[in-house]
Amino acid sequence: MIDYQLDKPHSILRVRPESSLDKSDFAELAKVVDPEIEAGGALAGLIIDAPHFPGWDSFGALVTHMKFVRDHHKHVKKIAVVTDSHLGDFAEHLGSHFIAADIRHFPAGQIEQAQNWIIGDE
């Protein structure tokens, strides 16, 4: 399950994985993200708030996640990965080769710093 909040004034989607991700999580996110992208052309940013990444509940969920990233990464300008997991370093370094967005890792709890980076106040 993914908890999410869309900050429309700043065009920032904040997601927080609460438990193992499943296919329906990405369908739900698409319902929120796609209209925002259609209206504005892109999201200013995505904040992934995952102190500890819970993984996926199935291989199908992993594949659905990869398809979601493939279909949306060109429409997100910046991605902040807020975590103490090694996933953050991995995402920042490897993701930059495959993802169109700028990616930056922040330690867990630094949501405000991540948001400031996305909106350009840092």
**pLDDT value, residue 122:** 55
In 1-111, where do the E strands start and end?
A: 2-7, 12-17, 43-49, 76-82, 102-106
Q: Which helix (H) or strand (E) holds 69?
A: helix 59-72
Look up the pTM and report it.
Answer: 0.85
Beta carbons of 27 and 61 less than 8 angstroms apart: no
CA distance 35 to 37: 5
- Give domain limits for the chain: 2-119
Beta carbons of 68 and 100 less than 8 angstroms apart: no
**pLDDT value, residue 88:** 47
From 3.30.750.24, 3.40.50.720, 3.30.300.210, 3.40.50.1370, which CATH number describes the 2-119 domain? 3.30.750.24
Per-residue pLDDT tens listing for the chain (122 residues) = 889 999 999 999 999 999 899 999 999 999 999 998 888 888 999 999 988 778 889 999 888 888 888 888 888 899 898 988 766 445 554 555 456 778 888 998 999 999 999 998 65
CA distance 81 to 91: 8
CA distance 109 to 93: 21
